[in-house]
Chain A
Amino acid sequence: MKEGRNTKLSLKSIKRKSLNNAEMLLLITISLFVIIYIISAIVFSESNFAKYSVFFNLLNNKAYLLLLALGLTIVLISGSIDISVGGVTGLVSMVIATMLLNNNVSAIWTIPTALCIGLAFGFVQGYLVAYMEIQPFIVTLAGMYFARGMISVINAKSVPITNEMFMGWSGAKLYIPFLYNVRKNGTLDVAYLTPASIVAIIVLIIVIIMLKKTKFGRSLYAVGGSPQSAHLMGIDVKRTKFRAHLLCGLLAGIGGFLYTLFAPSGNPGNGYGYEIDAISSSVIGGVMLSGGVGLPIGTFFGVLINSIIERVVPLIGIVDASWPRIITSGFLFVFIVLQGIFSNVSKKGG
């Protein structure tokens, strides 16, 4: 009787502890975002950070990144990694642009094409990682180079998109009632969301529910935390990893589609380095690189931080486009160090 209560207690404390770790990282992320936002609102008061529309544009500009980062969140939680997402993004945008060169092709067909490309990458990489037991990094590095090479095989030049239907989707805005500021000349500056942002938010909600409530979501955490004990618990580790990669590929495909909506042209340089943006968004959002810990909502804030860095850096007076990435990488470094400290503390405490 006494023993039973003890185990119950210890289970509870373990649960609380692991949650604490994730929540702590999430708290750091959210407060970091709020601090950066408030500081930039005060320092750059002319650039309207206090406006609703600017806030929503942070999401509108990076809707595609949210998709990529959510895919990486899933894969990282399962204890694996995927660095092909940037390449897949570029490949999808190039394929869509090349498809739409033909006027007879309806823009609707671009959606299944994007999904199929993503799924194909996810399927092959997932199979190689899960069932052939090859290091995920090598597999997805090869995937990245394959995608990058395929882009230039398809087309080595920039391809503009002129399809009316597609451009209609790309330029659509969904105004949000009641959230507006009055401009100096008296017109209204209403906050809006693009279709891409709405898709991204829907996917975010689905991923949150999936990770929290479904059997697959819970087994992801178990597999990432400890594959051996997950196996002993009766979880099919290989299948879980395979599905994680498949899902990441699918999300990368959707992300590529949203990116093409955001920047409607096929360019060989598209999506270059987006894997680091996606990984840093996840990691800044509190996803542990060692696997098993992480919350999708944190990733959401990680993406917002990435977006705000990209917006603030030019305001400081640095025009060079390479600086946001240096700073994001710096943040990634800081958070990796933080995670190292966290995991050391929890190891010592346990």
Chain B
Amino acid sequence: MSDLKGNNKLSKSTFISFAKSLASNRLTFSVVVLLIVVVQNIITTPGFFKITIANGLISGYIPNILDEASELVIVTLGMTLVTAASGGQDISAGAIMAVAASFCGLMLNGSEYRTDVFHSPYLLALLVGLLGGALCGAFNGFLVSKLRMPPMLTSLILFTAGRSIAKQITHGQTIYIMNPVYKWLGVQIPGVPIRTTIIVSTVTVIFITLLTRLTSLGLYIQSVGINDASSRLVGLKSSVIKFLTFVLYGVLAGLAGLVGSSSVGSVNSGELGLGIEMDAILAVALGGNNLGGGKFSIAGSIIGAYTIQAITTTLYAMNVRADQLNVFKALIIIVIIVASSDVFKTKIKHFTQKIFSKNVSVGG
């Protein structure tokens, strides 16, 4: 009799420990959500896995999602680092994208609104665009690291003013860059069968992964995020590290802006990257990162970003308009964050304990 009871307990405990290890693994949640979306798509879209080559470009449902997600993936990388280091989120990504693209457009087009002649070298213009992004990031970083303001609040300044500033840079108009070379970054380099956006986002992911793995930066960011004061006592310049992550975030958002404007061949400061900050925060949360800072997982964030894009594409396919998407996204982010909050976890724990204790008493 007692033997049986012990056995029962054992199986129960192994099950619980397995569930616990699965639940504690940060990637589980995002992978599960991604799988759900993929399965849903396989059922509803017949040619989900079909890949064809059209006009010298690999195209299909999956390459499309990879292509559309590239801006989000790049911004999410920056958001992951900023979240880890500062324990807050920077919501000015969309505005920074607009600013960076406006700088680039201004360099290329000069004062003309629609032209196919480059007024300055292509690479130089891209560099200036990235520099514009870095400048915005440095502004946020200065406020956060030196003045110790909460990151979201400081980025709120650029969040609202950034698009207005971008509009001033482009003299209040949408700039059309007609030179086909401009579309290299966002569409296709002639002769390469893969969309450039996919290449750019992959290269950026590899670069950031190597940067955080091979150098000590990743470790420093985590230690600053976990405990600012004690990492300062250890000898880390926490304010410099926070500042760096914000500058990096600015550069990455700028890159996303260049990719985004290049893929449509124009700079529209009011539309470029609208609402991308929400998606990026969502991706970071989905990836199992703690939004309060500390440990981060780049792989999780990337999976999160692709999941968000898959959800978005799926909802578009279900005839949901872009501006209505925000309702779903807002609800999803609230559910995710509530589900991963400590209060909710302890409540669930109490609840499950109650059920298990009841079961045991019934069995006895």
Contacts and interface: CB of A to CB of B under 8 A. Distances in A.
Interface string B115-157: 0000000000000000000000000000100111110111011
B278 A325 contact: no
Contacts of A152: 321, 323-324
A274 to B, nearest CB: 9
Contacts of B333: 138, 142
B88 A336 contact: no
B352 interface: no
Contacts, number: 116
B73 to A, nearest CB: 20
A108 interface: no
Interface in A134-156: 134-135, 137-139, 141-143, 145-146, 148-150, 152-153, 156
Given A152-B324, A326-B165, A340-B146, 17 more contacts: A132-B338, A132-B341, A135-B291, A137-B150, A137-B153, A138-B333, A139-B337, A145-B275, A146-B331, A148-B326, A149-B328, A149-B330, A156-B323, A276-B157, A323-B168, A336-B143, A340-B147
Contacts of B150: 137, 289
B161 A149 contact: no
23 contacts: A81-B153, A83-B156, A132-B344, A133-B343, A135-B88, A135-B292, A137-B88, A137-B150, A138-B89, A138-B337, A139-B334, A143-B330, A146-B326, A146-B327, A148-B326, A156-B321, A279-B156, A289-B153, A322-B168, A326-B161, A326-B168, A329-B157, A332-B157
A44 interface: no
B6 to A, nearest CB: 39
Contacts of B325: 149
Interface in B335-349: 337-338, 341-344
B326 A149 contact: yes
A130 to B, nearest CB: 10
B156 A276 contact: yes
Interface string A147-168: 0111011001000000000000
A98 to B, nearest CB: 15
B148 to A, nearest CB: 7
A128 interface: yes
Nearest to B152: A137
Given A142-B334, A325-B161, A340-B147, A133 B321 contact: no
Given A137-B152, A139-B334, A336-B143, A320 B159 contact: no
Contacts of A148: 323, 326
B52 interface: no
A289 B88 CA distance: 15
B174 interface: no
B172 interface: yes
B329 interface: yes
Contacts of A325: 160-161, 164
Given A326-B161, A336-B154, A340-B148, A134 B337 contact: yes
Contact of A146 (B275, B330, B337): B330
A131 interface: yes
A232 B71 CA distance: 48
B200 interface: no
A203 B148 CA distance: 33
A333 interface: yes
A332 B149 CA distance: 12
B177 interface: no
A313 B168 CA distance: 15
Contacts of A133: 341-343
A145 B274 CA distance: 12
Nearest to B151: A137
A285 interface: no
Given A83-B156, A325-B161, A326-B161, A340 B149 contact: yes
A329 B163 CA distance: 12
A298 interface: no
Of the candidates A81, A146, A268, A340, the one having the most CB atoms from chain B within 10 angstroms of its own CB is A146
B93 interface: no
Interface string A317-337: 000101101100110110011
A320 B172 contact: yes
Contacts of B96: none
A333 B331 contact: no
B167 interface: yes
A273 interface: yes
Interface in A203-262: none
